[in-house]
A and B are shown apart, each in its own frame.
Chain A
Amino acid sequence: GNSVTQMEGPVTLSEEAFLTINCTYTATGYPSLFWYVQYPGEGLQLLLKATKADDKGSNKGFEATYRKETTSFHLEKGSVQVSDSAVYFCALRLIGNQFYFGTGTSLTVIP
């Protein structure tokens, strides 16, 4: 079946540290891939997306590359800030517009 697997948290980093959150997927066909971010008490917001293999999505210093050969879409940021503390969700969208989300990874950045 279709699914998204992302690394379990919580993740705690010091400010300016390098961030990687792993995400792999299983899907039929050629899905679009997304990273969403959820701040405390709020709904999810789109962080970045990639719609085909080798595309790189980027936003606010975050990046992720759609790797078809490894079915992965790992999220990276070179230098995290306290304001990046949130829960991050990897997601895929199938051709029929059905979505699958990962379980979420909680990130805490300490000064």
Chain B
Amino acid sequence: EAQVTQNPRYLITVTGKKLTVTCSQNMNHEYMSWYRQDPGLGLRQIYYSMNVEATDKGDVPEGYKVSRKEKRNFPLILESPSPNQTSLYFCASSPSGGNEQFFGPGTRLTVL
């Protein structure tokens, strides 16, 4: 089944404890992206990647890192999480250029 998977789905952590949210797609898509969804703000793009070893900042990249060493994986790294990063995070992938994006199920992160 073609899909985008994210792990973990739910995470509660404390300020300053490094964490990684994984994202993997099995559709051989070139484009991958991370978003955060907050009430009243909609989805905001954090980072995106056009292909392996090619990443670009989205609208709200501060406090996040990403890497794209393999085509299928695009992990989101929070080196020192803070409470304002409490949010619902979505990973998405697309065959090329982001025309139709396929979204993962989301990761709900709480930073205490």
Question: A-side interface residues toward B, CB under 8 Å?
Answer: 4, 32, 41-46, 49, 51, 89, 91, 93, 96-104
Alpha-carbon distance A46/B99, docked complex (angstroms): 9
Question: B-side interface residues toward A, CB under 8 Å?
Answer: 4, 31, 33, 35, 40-45, 48, 50, 56, 58-59, 90, 92, 97-101, 103-106
Chain A residues with CB under 8 A of B43: 44, 89, 91, 99, 101, 104
Jot down 10 A-B pairs with beta carbons below 8 A, ordered by A: A4-B42, A44-B103, A46-B101, A49-B99, A96-B56, A97-B48, A98-B45, A98-B58, A99-B33, A99-B98
Q: Which residue of B lies closest to A51 (CB)?
A: B99
B44 touches A97 (CB 8 A): no
B99 touches A93 (CB 8 A): yes
A-B CB proximity, top 7 nearest: A43-B103, A101-B43, A103-B42, A101-B42, A44-B103, A46-B100, A97-B98
